[in-house]
A = this chain, B = another copy of it.
Amino acid sequence: MLHLVSRCSARLFWASPRWRRTYTQGASLRLKWLGCPHHRCSPLACREYSSASGSPEVMLTPERYPVQRLPFSTVSEEDVAAFECIIPGRVVTDPEQLEACNVDWLRSVRGSSKVLLRPQTSEEVSQILRHCCKRNLAVNPQGGNTGMVGGSVPVFDEVILSTALMNKVISFHDVSGILVCQAGCVLEELSRYVQERDFIMPLDLGAKGSCHMGGNVATNAGGLRFLRYGSLRGTVLGLEVVLADGTILNCLTSLRKDNTGYDLKQLFIGSEGTLGVITAVSILCPPRPKAVNVAFLGCPGFAEVLQTFSTCKGMLGEILSAFEFMDAECMHLVGQHLHLTNPVQESPFYVLVETSGSSAGHDAEKLTSVLEQVLNSGLVSDGTMATDQKKVQMLWALRERITEALSRDGYVFKYDISLPVERLYDLVVDLRTRLGPRAKHVVGYGHLGDGNLHLNVTAEAFSQELLGALEPYVYAWTAEQRGSVSAEHGLGFKKKNVLHYSKPPEAVRLMQQLKGLLDPKGILNPYKTLPVQA
C-alpha cells in the first residue's frame, strides 16, 4: 500500500496536487475501499490501481485514432522562458512529471505535450493565453483529468494549462448558500467546506476526490444529485472565463436572478475548454438536508425497476434525491474486483433510492410506506435501508465504484447515453447478443431518474474489431430513439465525430461559427468537441 502511495505521489503530483494529499492518507484510504466510515469512496481516488501495476504503455492518440496535427507552432525555448516570466517556478518540462497529464485516467488516450503550466490567478492565465494566441500555440486546459471522453489531455503537443493551483475559496454567503471559488478547487473539498456550514454542493459524482469545479462546469457534469438539484445550467450563477486572446470575461455575479442581456456563462458551461478557460465559479448550494436515507433494492426485472421508479416519484415526491440502477453484472464486477458485498439477495437488477429531507421522522415514514408497497406488490424481491452515515456510504459505494471495477476488468468501451426511460435497458440486451463472446462483459447502470444509461463493454484489450461492432451501431440505435449520444460526459476527443447523431447540421454549423467567433485561431483544446470540418 505504502509503495503505491509513494509511486503515485511522484507520478501524479503535477497533474493534480490534491492527489498527493489523498494518497498520503493511505491507511484511511485502504479503509475507504472496504467501505469507508467517513465518506463515500471515490473510484478515481483509486484509479492508479489499474495503471500502476505494470500495465503496458498507453498508445499515443494519433497512433490509435486517425487525427492530423493542425499547423500550430511548436513550443520553443523562448516560449518556455516567456512562461517562466509569467509564472516563475511553475513551468514543468520534466518528461516524467508530464507523463500523468498526458494520459487520461482510463489510459485510453495519450498526448505528447512538452510543457505544463500551473498558474495561480486569472491574470496569469490571461497572460499565458495572450502569449499562446500571439504565438499560435495550442492549449489543453486541464482540471482533475477525470474526463471520460479524452477531452482532458492533449492529443499532440498542446501546452497543458492546469487549474490545479487555482484552488482557493473566494467567498461563501452563509444565508444564501452562494459559493464563489477558483476553478481548481476539488469537488470533494468544496463539499466538505460547505457541509461544515450546513450546505451541500448541488452536484456529486464518483470522481469527486479528484475532479475540479472548473472542469465540472466545463463538461456540464451531471452526476448523482441531478435528479434533485438539476443541471449546472441552473445552479451555476456566474463564471469568470479567460478567452482565447487573453481577455478576462468577468461574469462572476452571485445573484439568483440576472436578466441583463445574453447569459454568456452558458456558452462556457459544457464547452469543454474549447471556447474559453474557466477560472472561477459562483454556484448556489442547497441547504444540507437534515435527514438522508438510502434503500438498496433487488428487482426481478427491468419492468419492475421502472415501476419502482414511478412509485418512488409519486410517494416520495420532493424528498427523492437519487434513483440509480445497476444490473447483475455490475454487482458481479464490484464483488469480483473490489470485494464489495451484495447486501441483498441476488437479483437481475438493483436499485438505489436516496431521500434527502428536513424531517427525519416524516422522511422515514414516507420511505417505509414506499418499501412496504414495492415489497408487497412484488416489484422488489429484497431490500435493505440505511439511515446511519456509515451504512449509507457502504450502499452508495456499490453504485459509485462500478466505474472503478470496470476499469480493473480490462479495456473499457464507455457509452453515456440519454434514452426514453422505457427503452433504457434494451440496448444492453441487444448488445449482449450482438457482441457474443467478443466482449468480456456488457453492463448497464446509471441515473435512471434522468433517463441516463451508462453502457460499458469490457474486453481484454482495445480492439478495432470490437470498436467496429460497437460504433456506429450504438449511436445509430440511440439516434433512432431520439436519444443523446452523450448525456453527461461530453464529446471530448472520442465522441466529437458522432455529434451529428444528436444534432442537426444547422446546429453543428452554428457551433462551428461560435468557435470561430470566440477562438478564431482554434488554439483552445483543439481536436475536441467539434467534428472535423469537411
Contact = CB atoms under 8 A, between A and B. Distances in A.
Interface in A290-319: 290, 310, 313-319
Nearest to A237: B231
A55 to B, nearest CB: 29
A258 B358 contact: no
Given A250-B504, A257-B484, A266-B267, A357 B317 contact: yes
Interface in A488-525: 488-491, 495, 499, 502-504, 506-508, 510-511, 513-514, 517-518
Interface residues of A, number: 86
A233 B358 CA distance: 26
A259 interface: yes
A251 interface: yes
Contact of A421 (B175, B490, B507): B175
Interface string A475-487: 0000000111111
Given A357-B318, A421-B175, A267 B262 contact: yes
> A262, A418, A489: which has the most chain B beta carbons within 10 Å?
A262
A219 interface: yes
A300 B435 CA distance: 71
Given A248-B506, A255-B483, A483-B255, A269 B263 contact: yes
A255 B418 contact: yes
Contact of A175 (B310, B359, B504, B508): B310
B270 A263 contact: yes
A506 to B, nearest CB: 5
A343 interface: no
A249 B510 contact: yes
This chain's copy number in the assembly: 2
A489 B271 CA distance: 28
Interface in A232-273: 233-235, 247-251, 253-264, 266-267, 269-271
Interface string A439-459: 000000001001110000000
Contacts of A499: 260-261
Nearest to A356: B318
A181 to B, nearest CB: 17
A253 B504 CA distance: 11
Contacts of A510: 249, 264, 518
Interface in A313-343: 313-319
A254 B450 contact: no
A176 interface: yes
Contact of A287 (B219, B269, B317, B513): B317
A189 B290 CA distance: 38
A94 B250 CA distance: 48
Contacts of A383: none
A318 B362 CA distance: 12
A257 B319 contact: no
A161 to B, nearest CB: 20
B250 A506 contact: yes
B358 A316 contact: yes
Interface string A183-226: 00000000000000000000000000000000000011010001
A315 B358 CA distance: 7
Nearest to A250: B504
10 pairs of A and B residues whose beta carbons are closest in the complex: A317-B358, A234-B234, A266-B266, A258-B484, A257-B487, A260-B502, A255-B418, A362-B362, A230-B234, A318-B318
Given A257-B488, A318-B319, 14 more contacts: A176-B420, A222-B257, A226-B257, A249-B507, A251-B507, A256-B418, A256-B450, A259-B491, A262-B271, A315-B358, A316-B358, A318-B356, A362-B362, A517-B517
6 contacts: A176-B421, A226-B256, A234-B234, A251-B503, A253-B502, A319-B358
